[in-house]
Structure 1
Amino acid sequence: MAKIEVAQVADILRQNITEPAIMRRCIEQMNKVTEAAAVADEAKPPSQKKQFVILVSDPDGEMPKTELAGWVLQIPEDASPLSVQERVNKATFDFNASRRGRKLPAETIGEAIENVPAKNFKDVELWVKTKTPVLVLTTDNKLPKA
């Protein structure tokens, strides 16, 4: 539904309604409704900032104990996860061949994910969810017994 200013509605009412009492009641009702909506908008708490974390199942403890960083990427459901590296390479190659890429080419995977535009990734059916690296955590995939 289109939103319209109360002042504009009041002008329209003045032009079409000859009785000032009816017009005044209409405007007062509109002001009450808009005040209630404004109070409801102010009552909402600010949205909480979120971050991405990659949680990797490691029941055998094969992952290194050091902190790792990675990126969250999305590919089509029927595509192989092993094709991600190839897709990043292709998108980066296409970007580096462009005018902007020749000025500031991406030389590493990190630079590619941060600097290559989403259009290049979309062309190879790869969507970058995090442009900055996120922390990778490992878990033994077991819940504690209570």
Structure 2
Amino acid sequence: MKRVDVTYVLLFDELRENVLMVKNIGENSSYYTLPGGAVEPGETLEEAAIREAKEETGLDVEIGDVFSVSEAFFEDAGHHVVFFVFRGKIKGGEITISMPEEIEEVTWMSIQEAEDYLHITGNAKGLIKRSPSAPYLLRKRTKYSS
């Protein structure tokens, strides 16, 4: 199994009633996710989240604390995926679809509806409205010698 890290950004509207979602074009059907994608080699989680949000929505974002960490095994692809969801703030830009081959729509969605697409289940329902978080700490890059 290959380990794949994926970052997403949880963005609210000004009233904190809606979440920004993107509709991805899938092989069999389209599906909604938060803006985000795979971390590229040499990229930090924060850098990937900011880049992916810009590519998918046209918005400039700032990353805050970690909202959640989850993982899944995709047997068919041979991937063990770890998902890092960050709380974010919109700092500028405007909503545009710059990658129409990947993104079908960028839309604001009610928190309740968004939870269904975010695979928040059981006792975690309502998690988006609460504010649990963990700090994102980036340690400086260092070279280790033996």
Structure with more of its chain in strand, by fraction: 2
Structure with more of its chain in helix, by fraction: 1
Give the TM-score category using the shorter length.
under 0.3
**Structure having the higher Rg:** 1
Greater RCO structure (CA 8 Å; 6+ sep): 1
TM-score (norm 2): 0.24
TM-score (norm 1): 0.24
